[in-house]
Amino acid sequence: MFTVSSSLLGAFHSYFKTQRELALENLALRHQIGVLKRTLGTKRVCLKPSDRRLWVVLSRLWSRWQQALAFVQPATVIRWHREGFRRFWARKSRRREGRPELDRDVRALIRKMSASNSTWGAPRIRNELAKVSIKVSRSTVAKYMVRQRKLPSPTWRSFLDNHAKDLVSLDFFVVPTATFRVLFVLLILAHDRRRILHFNVTSSPSAQWTAQQVVQAFPNDSIPRHLLRDRDCIYGKYFRRRVKNLGIKEVLTAARSPWQNPYVEWLSGSIRRECLDRVIVLNEQHLRRILRSYFQYYHRSRCHLSLEGDAPVPRAAQGPELGQVIELPEVGGLHHRYVRAEAA
């Protein structure tokens, strides 16, 4: 009796509904009847994805959709809607948009450069690519590099920036030979363009020998104002007197403070990591030949972060009109220079 009364009351209330509401109600009821007929004889009502989508749409178009819903709870329809929302944005976010993909040849070149030059990082490779007019970001280069074990690299800090053009550094480092002798390498470095002004090798350094190297390093009017060095006892009275007679003012670092002479210390480390750690030195003549070859590469080809990706001897960028990028071995194949074919 209650069911009949509620049906009559619902039919009377339909007289006051709009045609749109009646159409949506009729659609909802017909759909539910169709679902019940389709699942007749089963223990539970089985809904297809199209059924769920229909009720999600009805919940957006009709404010009284819950009154016509019989076989599921309203919260279930709301859950369907939220699940559809998540799937929609998940599918949309999978679209590959943004920057265009890097050309395959450039990716292969980055991998080849990183494999051929194990000590090069992403900034070095990016600067080398810029010299052949291939513009890529540092992060893109790092993405396509061949992963290798990172070599230890000490940090360093700059000082006396205001006197960089008038300042040179001097320092020694030792190299063992195949016969376990110890050779001493003297470096004199100009700070402005990281140029190696002079180097020499000896097995028995002295104050007289070191002073003579300073005299040979600065002929004519190329004498700097300041010479930065450590407090090694090899720089005795004779050395200090000769340097003073040249009109050079010495700047001494604090004891046991190599970071106060960062440029030449970093240069010594670079020579070891990029050259001497990969060869066996036979004697003084052999060491001079190796260093001469490396310093030629260092001045003409090696890109420096401190020089905005340029070499001490400036390198001009080469455009694509000069042909394909080719690889030129340097320092016996330890490093390479990348140029366009017609500019080689």
User: Mean per-residue pLDDT for 245-254?
Assistant: 93
- Class assignment of domain 161-307? alpha beta
- What is the Cα–Cα distance from 228 to 212, expressed in whole angstroms? 17
Residue that has been written with the tokens 């053009």 in this structure: 165
User: Mean per-residue pLDDT for 258-268?
Assistant: 93
Cβ–Cβ under 8 Å, residues 271 and 174: no
- What is the Cα–Cα distance from 327 to 341, expressed in whole angstroms? 9
Helix (H, G, I), strand (E, B), or coil: what is residue 86? helix
Residue 247, Ramachandran bin (φ over 0: left; ψ between -120 and 50: alpha; else beta):
left
Higher pLDDT, 109 or 219: 109
| pLDDT at position 139 over 80 | yes
Q: Mean pLDDT in the chain?
A: 82
| Residue from 232, 241, 132 nearest 184 by CA | 232
pLDDT digits (tens, 9 = 90+) for 297-316: 999 999 998 888 999 999 99
Bridge partners for 234 per DSSP: none
- In this prediction, residue 68 has a pLDDT band, given cuts at 50, 70 and 90, of low
| 104-151+314-343 carries CATH number 1.10.1660 | no
Cβ–Cβ under 8 Å, residues 247 and 223: yes
| pLDDT at position 199 over 90 | yes
- What is the Cα–Cα distance from 21 to 14, expressed in whole angstroms? 9
Query: The whole model's pTM is what?
Result: 0.62
Ranges of each domain in the chain: 2-93, 104-151+314-343, 161-307
- Helix 104-116 with 122-130: angle, nearest 10 deg: 120
User: Mean per-residue pLDDT for 32-50?
Assistant: 67
Cβ–Cβ under 8 Å, residues 249 and 225: yes
| Residue from 291, 279, 277 nearest 202 by CA | 291
Residues 6+ apart with CB under 8 A from 100: none
Higher pLDDT, 63 or 144: 144
Tell me the residue ranges of DSSP E strands in the chain.
Answer: 167-176, 182-190, 195-202, 226-229, 249-252, 325-330, 335-340
- What is the Cα–Cα distance from 171 to 232, expressed in whole angstroms? 9
| pLDDT at position 287 over 60 | yes
- What pLDDT was estimated at residue 196? 96
| pLDDT at position 2 over 70 | no
| Residue from 164, 114, 110 nearest 134 by CA | 110
- In this prediction, residue 154 has a pLDDT band, given cuts at 50, 70 and 90, of very low
- What pLDDT was estimated at residue 201? 97
- In this prediction, residue 158 has a pLDDT band, given cuts at 50, 70 and 90, of very low
- What pLDDT was estimated at residue 66? 64
Alpha-carbon dihedral sign for residues 138, 140, 143, 146: negative
Token pair belonging to 192:
């402005």
Cβ–Cβ under 8 Å, residues 213 and 200: yes
